[in-house]
Structure formats: C-alpha cells, structure tokens
Structure 1
Amino acid sequence: MRLSVAVALWLLPALARAHGLFDERLAPRLPSLLGALLLAVAWLGHAAGCRRRPPPARRFWAFQLALLLSVLALFGPLDERAESSAALHMIQHMLLMLAIAPLLALARPLTQWRRLGGRPLAPAWRALARLARRPPACAALHGAAIWIWHAPGPYRLALEQPWWHVGEHACLLGSAWLFWWSVLQAGPRERGRALLALLLTGMHTGLLGALLTFARLPLYRDGGALADQQLAGLLMWVPGGLVYLLAAADCARRGLRRIGHGRPESGYSQGRGDDSS
C-alpha cells in the first residue's frame, strides 16, 4: 500500500507538469488533468482496498503493471506523437486493448474497489459482473467501440478535441476490459461462446486492419502519410490478430484439458460474492 500511494502521489504532479497543466493553457489541458486524477484515484483506491482484502501477489502485480502501462500510453511522449502519426496512435490503442485491458482482467481489481466503495457502488459492480458473464455481448460492445473510433469522423474529432480524445480512450479501454474479463474468466458453460467471441474479434479487427492497409487514400486527415496509415493497419492486422489467436488457442486448450480430465470448473468466480473483478 505504501508503495502504491507513494508512486501515485509522485506521478500526479509529474504528469501535470509534463502536460503543462499549470501554465496559461490550463483549459485545453483539463481533460489530461482529469485523466491523471482518475488514474490516481484508481491506484489509491486499489491500494486502500488491498488493506481490507489483500489480493494474491500475481493479481497485485498485474494491476501495478496495468497502471504503469497506462501512464506510459496516455501521458508520455507516445501520446503527444500519436496526434500526428496513425501508426503511433494505433500502438497506443493496442496497448490499451491488448495489454492494459487483459492485465486488468487478470488483476480483478473490483474486489478491492468494492471493499473501498461500500454499498453505494454495489449495484454498479453487480451490473458489470452480470455483463461479464456474456462474452458475445461484451465482444459486440467492444467491437462497436473499435469500429466507431476508427471511423474517419470520430478519429479526427478525437484528435482535434481533448475531451473527445479522453472519451475515445475510455471507451476503448473500458470495453476491452469487459471483453477480456468475459473471455479470460469464462466458465465451462460459456467456454464455447468465449472462444467464438475471441475468434470473431480477431476476424473483424483483422478486417479493419486490412482496410487501413490497402486503402489507396489516407482516411485520416491528421493521420500522416498513406504509408503511416498502412503501417497502422498492419499493426492491427498482424500483431493484434496474433494476440486474439493465441488467446483463442489457450481458451480451447483449457476447455479440452478439463474435458480430458473430467474435472468440473469453477466458472465466473470474479462475478460471484466478494471475488468480483
């Protein structure tokens, strides 16, 4: 807890200074300040919850790594350079969707956040847990967020308007977290649907990557040259598709292993009782 508090208190002013939050351009920087505050609250809230319900070490460090990657992706030089490069913007999105979100799903931080939030927030936690039991619904929600925010209009709007930029990142990360929560913690009854959700997500993101790769004209006005856009498409298509394929293979492997051993599986443990994530 002391480590998390110290890091969070150190990061907040550092991030603020890095983005010029306290200079004469305060108004345009308010969205960045809000993002930094939310990140600090999430970090401190998890640390406080750990005192009441300590998580296993692997979950604790998964959460710490997820938050550190969030800082690097959203508040470092990558965020500034992503405004002028479609490829770097895609790397930023892939970090949110394919690294930070799975780590949050594995960390199951709702267990600690519930302990801190108490009863007032309990209905919201239960609603998230119920939704996470439906991999196809989570995959559809995440897929809609991906296609909407990679359409030319919303993409340019996020580049031009700081508040929309924050909304873009929140939608992609939040929907990805639910998606990975639903597929990584799928029980035996939902194993097939989780596998289907992974395969379909890999297919439609690959299609989007192919569209960006083979487009003859730049689709994003501020996205740089056509070659930069094509590189962004390749990043989504090949490395991104590989992540979904490996996750699908692991999902199938775990299902076949359970069938071969004839052992029951616990299912959505993080959506039940106090072990919610």
Structure 2
Amino acid sequence: MHWAAAAALTAIFLPVSAQAHGLFDAHLLGRAPLLLTAVLVAAAWLLYVLGARKVPPRRSEALCFHSAMLLAVFSVFGPIDDWAESSTSWHMTQHMLFIIVIAPLWALARPLPQWRGVTGRFAQPLWTGILRAGRYPTLLALLHGAIIWIWHTPKLYVLALDNLWWHAFEHACFLFTGWLFWWSVLRANPKQVPQALMAVLLTLMHTGLLGALLTFGTVSFYGEGRSVDDQQLAGLIMWVPGGLIYLIGGGWIAWRWLTRMWRRQQTGAAREELG
C-alpha cells in the first residue's frame, strides 16, 4: 500500500486546472487554506508510513488507514468538492464521507502507535489526550452531534461555502470529532459497551432527525439558488445510508461484546472441568 500512498501524496500537490478549489491557480493566496490542508494530510500520511517501519501495523489496519486517506484526498481535492458548491446533495455526500466512512476507517486503523513511533515524546500530550477522550463515548457523541447540527444551520452552511478558511475548518471539525466518536465506540472496552451503544443510538436518532427535516422541508434552507428537490435528496442521503452505517456500527459493537463474553464463559467452563 505504500506505493498508493506515495502516488496519492504526489497527486495532492499536482496542479489542478479548471477547478474552483484547485490547489494551484491564478489566485494562489486565496487557496492558502487548501494548501495548508494538503500539507497536513501529507504530513499525517507520511508520518504513518514512516511509523509503520518502526511499529508494523496489521494488514487490515494499514488497509483501513490508506483507504481512509485516499477517500479524504478524493473528498477534499477531487471534483466532489466543486460539485458541492452548487448542489446540496453533493455537499451532504461529502459530509457523510467524512462522518460515516473516513472517520470510522481511521478508528479501525488505530494509527496512534505508528504516529507515536515517529514523534516520540514530542506529541505525547496530544496522543494521551486522544486516548483519554476515548473513555467517554457519550460525551464525544454529544460533541460530534453538536458539530453536525451547528454546521448545518443555514448561516454557517453558507459561510463555509463562501469562505475557504471556514470551509477547511468545517471539514476539520467533521473529521476530528467523527474520528474521536468512532474511536470511542468501536474501541470500547466491555465496561464501556453500554455507553458506546447509547452513543451510537443517540447519533442515529439526531442525524435521522436532521435528515428528516431536510427531506420533508418544502423551502430551501440554504438559499434560493438551491432547489428543494436537491435538498430533499441530501436529507435522504443523511437519513438512509447514514442510519444504516450507525446500525451496522452498533451491531458490530454488540457482536464484539457478546463474542468476548462467550469466550470468557468457554474459558471458565474449561477451567472448571480441569479443576
């Protein structure tokens, strides 16, 4: 997968013409937020590749990480970002890629050992803070939920479209809080499973509510230039595929928990027989 990472890192910085959000064009200074985003994505990816040499990850974890990074590059620098400028449904597709695809893939990838293997003590407070935050699934679900609702209010939604700095910050909010949320629920220990399931259920409910509001809305919430039909499609994208992913996530958490309990019971039964 390292060759794919190298190719994607190179592609991030290739000149992109005829795109509203291209990295290199006549308005280079105006593209500073995208350039900064590209540098951060490239740095995170490069640190992982270097860290993997010191702390080899499992193949499944490496696949999850590289897949997530490829999707992140496509979502931020690909054509979908331009389509989102004028289409609410494409904008929602981009957001859902961040929230229910890229973020959980990062959580499953468990990249902290690789990053820590390179940064050492320099970034230890950051990694420690992330690990400690993972102990509170419900709190992180509330934080992530607040971010989702705040950025889908009409004023901030339009602000992110009109200003690249706010646009980049919006993406960072979705990705970081989404990663923390999925990290906390997918990596929950047996004692945290009830909280994790409650966090997933809460997220399923409030995102479904937001999706329903957009689906059944009869006026455009985000400006007269955006059609109601497109907005309703955006609501369905959040409501149906999003709800399905949260159900799958909750099912996986419950299955993992039940499997651990079954193994413990089997181990206990075997010990009793030997005893």
The TM-score, its normalising length taken from structure 1, stands at 0.90
Looking at structure 1, the residues matched to 93 and 22 of structure 2 have their Cα atoms a distance apart, in angstroms, of: 24
Aligned to 2:222: 220
The residue that corresponds to 1:84 in the other structure is 86
Could you tell me which residue of structure 2 aligns to residue 252 of structure 1?
A: 254
Greater mean deviation of Cα atoms: 51-60 or 164-173: 51-60
| Matched residues, number | 264
Structure 1 residues 119 and 15 mapped into 2: Cα distance closer, same or farther (>3 Å)?
farther
**Does the C-alpha gap of structure 1 residues 9 and 216 become closer, same or farther in structure 2, counting only changes over 3 Å?**
closer
Give the corresponding residue for 1:50: 52
Secondary structure at 1:133 match in 2: coil
Decide whether the 8 Å contact of 2:211 with 2:235 is kept in 1. Answer: yes
CA offset at residue 9 of structure 1?
A: 4.4
1:15 is displaced (CA, Å) by 5.9
The 1:232/1:20 distance shift into structure 2, 3 A limit, reads closer
| Residue 272 (structure 2) aligns with | none
Contact 2:5/2:66 (<8 A) preserved: no
1:1-277 paired onto structure 2 within 5 Å: 3=3, 6-14=6-14, 19-221=21-223, 224-262=226-264
Give a deviation string over 1:169-222, Cα, whole Å, max 9, x none.
Answer: 000010000000000000000001100100110000000001111112110017
> Residues 2 and 135 of structure 1: is their aligned pair in 2 closer, same or farther, counting only changes over 3 Å?
closer
Residues 16 and 25, structure 2, Cα contact 8 Å, conserved in 1 = no
Unaligned runs of 5+ in 2: 267-275
- DSSP 3-state at the match of 1:7: helix
Q: Residue 4 of structure 1 contacts residue 43 of structure 1 at CA under 8 Å; is this kept in 2?
A: no
Larger Rg: 2
Report the Cα offset of residue 255 of structure 1.
2.2
Q: Are the aligned partners of 2:214 and 2:234 in contact in 1 as well (CA < 8 Å)?
A: yes
Identity of aligned residues (%): 52
Alignment-mate amino acid for residue 11 of structure 1: A
The secondary structure found in structure 1 opposite 2:85 is coil
Task: Name the aligned partner's letter for residue 7 of structure 1.
Answer: A
Report what 1:272 is aligned to. Answer: none
Name which of structure 1's ranges 8-17 and 39-48 shifts more when overlaid on structure 2. Answer: 8-17
Distance 2:198 2:225 in 1: 33
Task: State the alpha-carbon separation in 1 of the partners of residues 3 and 42 from structure 2.
Answer: 13
| CA-CA distance at 1:115 after TM superposition | 1.2
Secondary structure of 2:247's aligned partner:
helix
- Report which stretch shifted further, 218-227 or 201-210: 218-227
What is the DSSP-based 3-state SS (H/G/I as helix, E as strand, rest coil) of the residue aligned with 1:14? coil
- Compare 42-51 and 3-12 and name the one that shifted more: 3-12
**Higher RCO (C-alpha under 8 Å, 6+ residues apart):** 1
Alpha-carbon distance change, 222 to 34 in structure 1, aligned in 2, over 3 angstroms = farther
